[in-house]
Amino acid sequence: MDFKLTPEQIDIKKAAREFAENEFSPELMEECDREEGYPMEVVKKARDLGFSTIKIPEEYGGMGLTLFEEALITEEFYRVSPGIGNACLSSTFGTELLILFGNEEQKEKYLRWITEKHGISAMATTEPEAGSDVANVKMKIVKEGDEWVINGVKTFITNGTVCDFVLVLGRTYDGEKRHHGLTFAIIESKMKGFKATKIKNKLGLRASDTAEIVLKDVRVGDENILGEPGKGFYYLMEFFNHTRPRVAAQAVGIAQGAFELTLNYVKERKQFGKPIAAFQHTQFKIAEMATRIQAARLLTYQAAWQCSIGERKPELSSMAKWFAGETAVYVADWAVQLHGGYGYVGDYAVERFYRDAKITELYEGTKEIQKLVIARTMLRDVLKKYGD
């Protein structure tokens, strides 16, 4: 076992830190948060430097690296700004499905759209009535003659109003076993029948675009169906296995960013004639925050590494996502607390970290769903007999 990063990984981490510190200016962070604006120029710059195409194979113009390197970049971007970091790095959200299950023509067309034309992708499973219970999706993807006709509504879709294409999950076959009837289709935003409406007033991650998407009689050919019809649910589970460690890395970055601001603050802020860092309670909190961040980081790195070497362990991805998400929320909460009243107002960035942290416990499966995934692995035999 070797805990050292390779020289290449050190360079990537350093480049990501420099980019985030130079490009995510305080003015841009403040403006995007206040106005809920999408920072398109920075998204494009990050793309040009390969940060958001790190996992796309070289043969399609990407960097051809792994989830581990992606986790390192994610941590650095979110350490400075979770909102802008999300806009930049989630601009290729969903391409994992193409890499894992797309055919040659789909990869050639859609991955190159990303790597050569600043294309933005999205991945849509959530519906108003189907969040955690994703197998309950109502969107229809049904065959009519040579075409597939798609109808339905998706909500909370990252990049919904800025994407060029979106991979949507819908129902193709009805039947007793609802998980077996789902299919992914690739929909381009310029297709007739596509409509996206931005969702505003989010608690955090306000630089990231979130939208409702309505598809009305959208028609595509076989070439826009991902893999085998009816296998969509299983593709999605594999997708999550590869993307949850990235959310864990987002959470580690958020925790680290909030922690560093707090470390500086407790050394400077004086009460009762000494820096608040001199109080034992503050020291204990700093120790607890630092330890939890390091534990979350190690779990995240292991989960990312496990995927990178191609060994399947979904429970590890879920452990990392749940634990790191809870760490981000814990650390951001104590960051505000240790800033006192100043942490509650917008002048110090901890207030934004506090609002941004929460999402890591919600999207790509809530923390409760992560615990179900973990428990199902641990208790497989019993749950086969008595579980749902």
Active site residues: 364
Q: Helix (H, G, I), strand (E, B), or coil: what is residue 98?
A: helix
Question: Rounded distance, CA 108 to CA 123, Å?
Answer: 18
Q: Helix (H, G, I), strand (E, B), or coil: what is residue 234?
A: helix
Q: Please, which of residues 282-321 interact with ligand FAD by CB under 6 A?
A: none
Q: Pick the closest to residue 211 from 166, 273, 254 (CA basis).
A: 166
77 contacts ligand FAD (rule: CB under 6 A) = no
210 contacts ligand FAD (rule: CB under 6 A) = yes
Cα separations in angstroms, 100 against 55, 113, 219, 321, 363: 11, 17, 24, 21, 21
What binding mask, one character per residue, do residues 19-58 give for ligand FAD by CB under 6 A, x or -?
A: ----------------------------------------
CB of 139 to ligand FAD, least distance (A): 11
Q: Please, which of residues 357-376 interact with ligand FAD by CB under 6 A?
A: 359, 362-366, 368-369
158 contacts ligand FAD (rule: CB under 6 A) = yes
Cα separations in angstroms, 103 against 222, 262, 267, 354: 11, 48, 56, 41
CB of 122 to ligand FAD, least distance (A): 6
Q: Please, which of residues 188-207 interact with ligand FAD by CB under 6 A?
A: 202, 205
Which residue, 135 or 149, has its beta carbon nearer to ligand FAD? 135
Hey, what are 15's tokens? 């480049």
Q: Is the dihedral of CA 78, 213, 226, 240 positive or negative?
A: positive
| Residue nearest ligand FAD, Cβ-based | 131
Which residue, 269 or 358, has its beta carbon nearer to ligand FAD? 358
Q: Is the dihedral of CA 289, 291, 297, 302 positive or negative?
A: negative
Nearest-5° Cα angle at 165, 162 to 166: 95
CB of 372 to ligand FAD, least distance (A): 6
Residue among 6, 22, 103, 132 that touches ligand FAD (CB under 6 A): 132
Residues engaged in binding ligand FAD (CB under 6 A):
122-126, 131-132, 156-158, 202, 205, 210, 359, 362-366, 368-369
